[in-house]
Every structure is written in structure tokens, then in C-alpha cells.
Chain A
Amino acid sequence: MRPKKANKIVFKSAEEMPLMICSVGHQTHNLTGAWRNIRPEIDRANCVQCGICWKFCPEPSIDVVDGWPVVDYDYCKGCGICAEECPQKCIVMVEERK
């Protein structure tokens, strides 16, 4: 299970910061889904589970759930590569509703 939605890291003092200048955790608090204007919607009826959308997602924000691609909208930036690369053309980019 991939790590998701951690808390923001806040140091209350210099003491709390490690001696070395190093990371102490992921930045999954940063929900990059807020960046997008368009979102991918996968038509499962026409999906042949070829794995190409999963393969080409840069985040990657397409999870494999029970053999099917599922977009994690918390993080999907709406780049559209999945829609462009899908050989079945079963992914459509739709306007985000605000």
C-alpha cells in the first residue's frame, strides 16, 4: 500500500530538527490534485486492462485495484498522458467542476 496523505511537518524549535540537513518524511500532505483543470475519466466498459495508463502516469497517480486502473484524484495533476496514450481511447479528459 503506497503512503498517502501524511501530515505536514512542522518543527517547533531548532532542537527538534535533526543535526543533519535531512528529510524526515514524505510530502503526501501536498494534494497535487488541486493543480488540475481537467481530470481523466476511465470508461471501464471499454478498458482492456492493458496497463498502459498506469505505465505512463508520471506521478504515478493511477493505482491498480482488483486488476483495474483507478485514478487517485487527490494527486492526479491532469496532464492527460493517460488519455493520449490509451489504445482503446477509453479515457476522456473532462473539465473540473468547481
Chain B
Amino acid sequence: MKQEKKMTLTLPAEELMACGHLACQGCGATLAMRYMLKALGQKTALCIPACCWAVIDGPYPYSSMDVPIYHCAFETAAATATGVKAGLEMTGDKETTVVAWAGDGGTFDIGLQALSGAAERNEDIIYVCYDNEAYMNTGIQRSSATPYGAWTTTTPVKHFKNRPKKDIVAIMAAHRIPYIATASISHPEDFFKKMKKAKDIKGTRFFHVYAPCPTGWKSRPEDTVKLARMAVQNAYFPLYEIEDGDKVTLNLKLKDKKPVNDYIRIQGRFRHLTEAQVASIQAEVDARWERLLKSC
């Protein structure tokens, strides 16, 4: 009698998301949320400012999620989460993990003050920035997370974004918070492991999660995971942790770093770039990677 083989699941089976939600086809941000909740479990409270996820979980009076959510004002994710954590603790709940879940706009730009304030006070929250590199929910406008060279509606091809992406991890490291990690939706087990580790740490924990957006990047929806993987493998988005502001741990060493061009070529938002511009991107990625290696 042939043994019934079970499906290999490298993550817990339980889902805290119901179907019927409003994410685009192939949305990276949705995968990010799905993996985070698998690590944190149901005793989690989310504070979500204006971003794609403000809409994905459903309009009033619906929610696709099995965890409580406060939809908060755009710049207040970290401040709201701070308040929620304090309120829960004062009413006897010291177990629920409070998460500020924001996009790159609500983190790098308008939400930066509240994030910096909370981090400086070492508030006991997990702040997750899922980064799709622009203000996607409002229709693809540039943020300070938009990389050099990218088209957005406010950095059109003739004036593409010519400033580098803000280094949010370095900014957070300067606050000397207990834990910072980068993660990618292409490496869910790595994300899961780090989130589980973060769950048990007290103080401000910050995650920078790479979440490709086919709608905004003008890429094929089926390439979402592939793009995130390429970004990791070409060191455009390396996977590492920083503890207490300076202890750097590289999670994935890259033996053969792949060229950035392969990753750039399959995204419409970079289509206008010349070889020279791509080469400058490659040089920047290489330099950043070398600096990271030196800091470990």
C-alpha cells in the first residue's frame, strides 16, 4: 500500500487572510503580509496607514483579515502603534504583538518623523515597511524609496528619478534599536525566521521588506517572486540583520552575484535606461555590497 505523501510545507499552514481581498494580481505586498502573520500568529494588532494595504483588506464594513486592524492617518503608523501598545498593556494585554504596517511612502517620507520618534523611545512595536518603491495606492508617484532610474508618474521618462534611494536601514540603525532586518517575499522562510526572532525581542524592531508591484513596475504579474529573488541575488536588495545598531549579520552570502541588468530588463519602469545608466546602477549596487560586506 503506497504511503500517502503529504505536501511539503516550509511554513505553517494556517492562514490569517481570507480570500476576496482587493490586491492586484501578483501583488508582492500581499505575500509579505501573509508571511508575517504566519510568524506572528493571531495575537497581533496591525496599524495600517494610507497605502495599498489600507484598501486591500476591504472597504468598510469588511475586513479580510483575522487580526484586528486600525486604519490610521498617513503619517501616524508608528505613533498609532505606540498608542495601541500602551493601551493594550494598560488594559491587561501584554501579549499581543503590535505591528505598524506601512508602505514606503508612509515610512520613508511622511511617516518618518513618527517612526524616528518611536524608535528613539524604543517603543515595543514591530514596524514593517513593505517597499514597492513608490506611492502605488495613489497611482504610482515617486517616493524617496523610488530607486535611481525609475519611471513614475511624477518622475516621467524625460525626468526619471535621478536621486538615489533613501537608505532607510542606515537611518534606523542610527537609532540603535534592538533589531533591524531586511526581507524579501522571494525568501519567505528567511522572513519567517527573522519575524519569529523579532517577536520575542522587546523594543523597536524594524523590517524592510521588498515587495514588487507589477502594476507600478510595469512587470508581468507572474514575475513578482522572480523579481524579488533577482533583487536579492544581484545584491540590489541584500538580506541582512542589524542588532543594536551595529552588529551586522549577512543572511545570504552571494557566491556569484548576478548582474543587475537581468533584473532591470524585465521591468517597464526602467525601459528607458541607457547602457551607461544601467552601468552606473551596477556600480552603485557593487559599492553598496562591498560596504555591507565590510560592516559584517
Contact = CB atoms under 8 A, between A and B. Distances in A.
The binding surface of chain A is classed by DSSP as loop
A64 B7 contact: yes
A36 to B, nearest CB: 7
B7 A26 contact: no
Contact of A80 (B9, B23, B26): B26
Interface in B13-33: 13, 15, 17-28, 30-31
Interface in A22-42: 22-32, 35-36
Interface string B22-59: 11111110110010000000000000000000000010
B188 interface: yes
Bin chain B's interface residue count.
35 or more
Contacts of A84: 222-223, 225-226
Interface string B242-268: 000000000000000000000000000
Contacts of A61: 19
Secondary structure at the B interface, as helix, strand, loop or mixed, is loop
A25 B66 CA distance: 10
Contact of B221 (A25, A54, A79): A79
A32 B9 CA distance: 25
Nearest to A18: B61
A66 B5 CA distance: 9
Contacts of A36: 25
B226 to A, nearest CB: 6
Give the interface residue-count category, chain A: 35 or more
Contact of B64 (A27, A55, A56, A74): A27
A94 interface: no
Nearest to B18: A26
B224 interface: yes
B30 A59 contact: yes
B4 interface: yes
Given A28-B18, A59-B19, A75-B20, A49 B222 contact: no
Contact of B7 (A27, A59, A69): A69
B218 to A, nearest CB: 15
Contacts of B19: 2, 4, 28, 32, 59-61, 72, 74-75
Given A26-B20, A32-B20, A74-B19, 14 more contacts: A2-B15, A17-B61, A21-B60, A23-B60, A25-B61, A28-B64, A49-B6, A56-B225, A58-B28, A58-B34, A59-B19, A78-B25, A79-B25, A81-B225
Interface of B: 4-11, 13, 15, 17-28, 30-31, 34, 58, 60-64, 188, 214, 220-226
